[in-house]
Amino acid sequence: MEDMLFYDRMQFAFTITFHYLFPQLTMGLSLMIVFFKWKFLRTKIEKYNDAAKFWMKIFALNFAMGVVTGIPMEFQFGTNWAKFSELTGGIIGQTLAMEGMFSFFLESSFLGLFLFGEKKLGHKLHFLTGFLVFLGSWASGFLIIATHSWMQNPVGYEILANGKFVLNNFSALFSNPWLWPSYLHNQAASLVTSSFVVAGIGALYLLNKKHVEFGKLFLKTGVVFGVIASILVAFPTGDLAAKNVVKYQPITFAAMEGIFETEKGGSEIVLIGQPNMLEKKLDNKIAVPNILSFLTYQEWNAEIKGLNEFDEKNYPTNIPGLYYAYHIMVGLGTIFIALMLASIVQLFRKKLYQTKWILWSLLFMIPFPYIANTTGWYTAELGRQPWLVYNLLRTSAGASPTVSSGNTLFTLLGFIGLYLLLGMLFLILVGKIINKGPQTTH
């Protein structure tokens, strides 16, 4: 049973990790594409229109990969997690169906019109199609996170005699106190990814002295969006999301921060440390006293409960993984803010395009928002364990009892091989688009 559950979780973790590499770019990039098209409508300067069409090509490739890699996850609800689907389908089916019917079809339909319909539609309707692509992608993210938020903080439900969850308050799904901080935090994080990609490609063009005009445009746009998004990820969205964890999942918060024992007189914030599960402490830690209490409760001496206050059977199943995922996310987020602030200062000083160390840094940093987003999701998912629906349905109770560990491992290896090929093909195609550069129409 433990092997079966392990491979079920590994398969879903792998497929969703690979899948989310693509939506996290498209959600943020859709807003930047709308910005480029809006700038063209206002100024009639063709480079903005060319920039919108260039990035929409990359958006389309990401969208296609997101669709291809998202479908297997839906099937896993009926194969590896059939019991979970049977018990909770009456609730999560609502939001997942809405995501598929409304958001996905809205996004995909108008993506085709944006890519191929500019001459027929004219520029104003072309802008509208781009805006509807943006609306569809952000609505899709909202409905997925509404589903996720219900699993983290179940609301508006009742449990029938047969153990099935049913919805007794539809509006509660969308007024869930977990939802809006998580959604805004996620969208700001996706905008960080797209900002670094756009700025990084702009830096690449300037360093190679290719497509210099577009390089400057991409760099400036990426930096301006990036500094705003990087700050928003930390405050207020990240702060509100963390306070939700403190309020609704205090055991998760203790594990995230590596607090094994309740500290009287205020909790320190750990900058570096390694969880020692045998001795239930952090090894080699570097910490700043009382800061965590202040950040959490705005009181220097506020008490934060440690893991010792809770039943060990409800501990997150992988405390070191949760601790490291959270600290990698926070550490990278801090670096993003610092780099984007340095870039914006140089932009205002009119020296950004000549500052080689910033150009190289932005280019080098392109993969790291992907890592930060992934570890952010790992923090949320590892933090909810050992529950599928927090405090109501354990992960072990949601797995399919008839799917063997051997079958799951075999298909996991198949996914790894197939996704490796898809990933290589994707990188080759995106590399060709970037190398060719924006196509000018003047």
CB-based contacts of 14: which residues, under 8 Å, 6+ apart?
A: 412, 415, 416, 419
The total of other beta-carbon atoms located within 10 Å of residue 44's CB is: 10
Amino acid at the residue 396: S
Element (H, E) at 286: strand 281-288
Q: Which of 177, 155, 206 is nearest to 353 (CA)?
A: 206
Give me the pLDDT at residue 101, please.
81
Three-state secondary structure call for residue 403: coil
Q: 359 φ, ψ to 5°?
A: -60, -45
Each residue's pLDDT, cut to its tens digit, for the chain (442 residues) gives: 568 899 999 999 999 999 999 999 999 999 999 999 999 999 999 999 999 999 999 999 999 999 999 888 888 988 999 999 999 999 999 899 899 887 788 888 899 999 999 999 999 999 999 999 999 999 999 999 999 999 999 999 999 999 999 999 999 999 999 999 999 999 999 999 999 999 999 999 999 999 999 999 999 999 999 999 999 999 999 999 999 999 999 999 999 999 999 987 889 999 999 999 999 999 999 999 999 999 998 899 998 999 999 999 999 999 999 999 999 999 999 999 999 999 999 999 999 999 999 999 999 999 999 999 999 999 999 999 999 999 999 999 999 988 888 999 999 999 999 999 999 999 999 999 999 999 886 5
| Residues sharing a CB contact under 8 Å with residue 51, sequence separation 6 or more, in sequence order | 36, 214, 217, 218, 221, 438
What's the pLDDT at 441?
Answer: 66
For residue 228 the two structure tokens come to: 């705003």
Task: Compute CA 175 distance to the chain's CA centroid, rounded to the nearest angstrom.
Answer: 21
Predicted pLDDT of residue 442 = 57
Closest CA to 199 of 245, 230, 231, 237: 230
SS (H, E, C) 305-346: CCHHHCCHHHCCCCHHHHHHHHHHHHHHHHHHHHHHHHHHHH
Residue 313 CA: distances (Å) to CA of 52, 96, 246, 411: 52, 31, 19, 31
Kindly list the distances between the CA atom of residue 416 and the CA atoms of 64, 322, 422, 425, in Å, as whole numbers in the listed order: 18, 23, 10, 14
The residue among 13, 97, 23 whose CA lies nearest residue 65 is 23
Q: What is the pTM of this model?
A: 0.96
Return d(Cα 20, Cα 221) in angstroms, integer.
Answer: 24
pLDDT of residue 263: 82
Tens digits of residue pLDDT in 204-227: 999 999 999 999 999 999 999 999
Give the closest residue to 223 by CA, choosing from 48, 346, 364: 346
pLDDT for the residue numbered 266:
84
